Amino acid sequence: MVSLRFPFLFSQPPKLPHRISSTTSSRSFSSATTAVLVAASAAASAAAIVAASKDPKHPFLQNALNSLLSSNCSSAPLWGSLSLAEKSSSAVVEYKNGISFPSILGDSRRLLGIGLRKKSIFGLKNIDVYAFGVYADENGLKESLGEKYEKLSTSEFKENKECNEDLIDNDIDMTVRLQIVYSKLSIRSVRSAFEQSVGSRLQKFGGSDNKELLQRFTSQFKDEYKIPRGSVIDLSRERGHVLRTTIDGKEVGSIQSKLLCRSILDLYIGEDPFDRQAKEDIEHSLASLLQK
């Protein structure tokens, strides 16, 4: 599987000027006249925007887009990694498909990184199946991993190969959120894909005698559930190594199994993840959080 780095943007409201500067001579106008001029200017700007929207090559629109891209590039690179240092409630967007992930789930599960699950069709074409975001409880991270990693420098943290294993093994509340991108994906396909991917991890970590556990997990994805583009599947590890599964906010099952939780998380942050760049972003976010 070829991993690509997927750019994202933090959604923020546009910054409006606090006031419009004026020349000394403008002070002679009355407040009523000033209001009329401002309204006329706003109307003219709106008309220009409408006209530009009807023609994608309109100079007005091109200039506006160029200005927006320039400002984004100067303030922060599009190809970047998430950082937990900023406690923002804004959403994070997977740039390629426009899928939005909240920065925080619940009270304290913070987004560590986002990526894409891609699938090859007959070895000829890769399709984006779903975007995913990996979340972890901030307090749990610091309690379980803080003492071990807080004093490491950034370079030492990067060279350390144990952090992801510690994140997978410790009883820290985590969620992997899947948001469906491929509009023709069926729940049967999801069930079949998990049978292969989770099944291989169960065998890797627990041996071959785990068919019943795999069947308990995959049977949660019943044919009655519809998953059009934009549907959300949450795979959450709760305290006690309980894996809770929800589809569009509805709980469809929970299973207490450390082996199953480990197998699920290994797909996204293990040695051979679905998206290697997402894994690197997650490691960068962990360093930012634990070194605070």
Edge-first strand listing for the sheet containing 232-238: 104-105, 109-121, 125-137, 174-180, 232-238, 242-247, 250-256
Q: Pick the residue with more confidence: 95 or 33?
A: 95
With bands split at pLDDT 50, 70 and 90, how would you rate the model's confidence at 203? very high
- Model pLDDT for residues 114-162, shown as the tens digit of each residue: 999 999 887 788 899 999 999 999 999 999 999 999 888 878 888 888 9
Q: Pick the residue with more confidence: 76 or 202?
A: 202
CB 82 within 8 Å of CB 285: yes
Q: What is the pLDDT of residue 109?
A: 96
- Model pLDDT for residues 29-62, shown as the tens digit of each residue: 334 434 433 344 444 444 443 444 444 444 443 3
Q: Give the bridge partners for 126, in sequence order.
A: 120
With bands split at pLDDT 50, 70 and 90, how would you rate the model's confidence at 89? low
Token code pair at residue 284: 């960068």
User: pTM of the predicted model, to two decimals?
Assistant: 0.70
Question: What does DSSP say about strands 91-94 and 242-247: parallel, antiparallel, or unpaired?
Answer: unpaired
Nearest CA among 183, 170, 187 for reference residue 245: 187
With bands split at pLDDT 50, 70 and 90, how would you rate the model's confidence at 83? very low
Nearest CA among 170, 173, 144 for reference residue 238: 173
